[in-house]
Amino acid sequence: MISSATLPVKPTLPRFEGNSRLRLFSGSSNPALSREVAHYLGIDLGPMVRKQFADGELYVQIQESIRGCDVYLIQPTCRPVNDHLMELLIMIDACRRASARQITAVIPYYGYARADRKTAGRESITAKLVANLITQAGANRVLAMDLHSSQIQGYFDIPCDHIYGAPVLVDYLVGKCLSDLGVVSPDVGGVARARAIAKRLNDAPLAIIDKRRQAHNVAEVMNLIGDVEGKTAVLVDDMIDTGGTIAEGARLLRAQGARQVYACATHAVFSPPAVERLSSGVFEEVIVTNTIPVPPERQFSQLTTLTTAKLLGETIWRIHEESSVSSMFR
């Protein structure tokens, strides 16, 4: 389910007149989220034609004048990643050639983010390559949520606003009034993320799972640093892909005496066999956001999906008004 009442139109936001410079367009990867963002801002999504030719080539046409406008293109580059990335690049190019004043690529989920460094010889740093493509296509700014590693911000030669899904997840957890909370990072690389959420949860104790990855999408849990005995453990990660890491972590936490185990992640990638692993009974609840749409066949009874529309809409408004974005997270 999507845990959120119908979002009200931002009360301080003036109704846009025909000469407003702000324009919002949606790619095909997550139109439901784009509609929610538009509703929060009190505007309509701009008209656009998208189609695919018989050979797979994509075609995009903006169907209103955007000359001199500030254009925001919402397109998470989720499955199928290459199609959605190419669509975003074409959208950017179309807006650039239509004389938009500023083009902001709003990427709630940034694909290829895990290829952010070389771990072996003759590998591509694809996260940097994608950043170059977006910049060369004509984007003036990028708005991304929960990048896999913060260093990716530096891969862009244009301004990059990096926002976090933590406020949405924390608000939901606080509303559940869970007792004896302990926040757990599923690996050493996620400690900063888990620590930030633990601080928001009244300085809940923090534990870390030590693991060793033997291959892509394969993880072996080795040890738990910290104490979860008798606690409600909340495993925190930026994304859940195949679910192997977080499910193995949950089993370790239960073996170490955790009373309940919850999983929290911003991005629900859910590649097979994630659904089977997550719905196997090791979690009381799996809490994600709607940066990536979860189709019906990948939903299960323990899944809760929270909306990020208000967070994205508020950020877009602040960028448009040239006010502080970072103050939202203090």
Prior bond to 108 cis, omega within 30? Answer: no
Domain spans, the chain:
2-164+310-329, 166-307
How much is the pTM? Answer: 0.92
Check: CB of residue 232 under 8 Å from CB of residue 264. no
What integer pLDDT is reported at residue 329 of this predicted model? Answer: 84
Q: Taking 60 as the threshold, does the pLDDT of residue 5 lie above it?
A: no
Sign of the Cα torsion 21, 18, 314, 155 reads negative
Task: Retrieve residue 253's tokens.
Answer: 């936490």
Q: How far apart are CA 202 and CA 222, in angstroms?
A: 29
Q: List pLDDT tens digits, range 156-194.
A: 999 999 999 999 999 999 999 999 999 999 988 899 999
User: pLDDT of 75-133, one tens digit each?
Assistant: 999 999 999 999 999 999 999 999 999 999 999 999 999 999 998 999 999 999 999 99
**Do the beta carbons of residue 15 and residue 42 sit within 8 Å?**
yes
pLDDT exceeds cutoff 90 at 74 = yes
Instruction: Please check whether residue 69 is in contact with residue 23, taking contact to mean a CB–CB distance below 8 angstroms.
Output: yes
51 classed as catalytic? no
Find all residues with CB under 8 Å of 176, minimum gap 6, and list them.
Answer: none
Report the share of the chain in percent with pLDDT over 90.
87
Mark out the alpha helices in 67-125 (DSSP H runs): 81-97
Q: Give the pLDDT score at 18.
A: 45
Q: At 214, is the pLDDT very low, low, confident or very high (cuts 50, 70, 90)?
A: low
Same fold? 2-164+310-329, 166-307? yes
Domain 166-307 belongs in CATH node 3.40.190.10 = no
Alpha-carbon torsion (34, 36, 42, 44), positive or negative: positive
pLDDT at position 8 over 60: no
The average confidence (pLDDT) of the chain is 92
59, 49 Cβ separation under 8 angstroms:
yes
Q: What is the dihedral of CA 302, 187, 245, 265, to 10 degrees?
A: 30
Query: Does position 298 have pLDDT exceeding 60, yes or no?
Result: yes
Q: Is the pLDDT of residue 267 over 80?
A: yes
Catalytic residue among 10, 128, 211, 310: 211
CATH 3.40.50.2020 holds for 2-164+310-329: yes
